């Protein structure tokens, strides 16, 4: 098996970071709302800040990676793919004719 290209490793890392960011967002949002509802403003601000930072980080990383992959004609970040398509889009079009 050939070595994995750098863009595939980057896509997998970004997919995992995006997944963890979603988990952190879903964990801290109820914490922030509960803290705000019970009158703990310091904890509400802390949990809300962590929630917002995780959401912004995840969305930014995934969207910039998807944009770069579309520009360079690569596959988008995917956690379930064990392989990647090594042929370019132009070569696939030529083969299909």
> Which pLDDT belongs to residue 23?
97
**Cβ neighbour number for residue 23 with a 10 Å cutoff:** 12
> Over the stretch 17-26, which tens digit does the pLDDT of each residue have?
999 999 999 9
More confident residue, 77 or 27: 27
- As given in the structure block, the two tokens for residue 48 are 């809300």
**Longest Cα pair distance anywhere in the chain, in angstroms?**
67
Q: What is the pTM of this model?
A: 0.74
Residue 94 above 80 pLDDT? no
Mean pLDDT of 43-55: 97
């Amino acid at each position: 098996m050939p070595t994995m290209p750098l863009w595939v490793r980057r896509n997998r890392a970004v997919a995992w970071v995006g997944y963890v960011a979603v988990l952190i967002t879903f964990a801290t949002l109820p914490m922030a709302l509960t803290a705000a509802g019970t009158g703990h403003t310091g904890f509400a601000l802390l949990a809300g800040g962590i929630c917002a930072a995780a959401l912004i980080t995840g969305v930014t990383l995934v969207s910039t990676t998807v944009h770069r992959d579309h520009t360079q004609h690569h596959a988008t970040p995917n956690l379930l793919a064990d392989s990647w398509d090594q042929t370019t889009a132009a070569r696939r079009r030529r083969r299909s004719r």
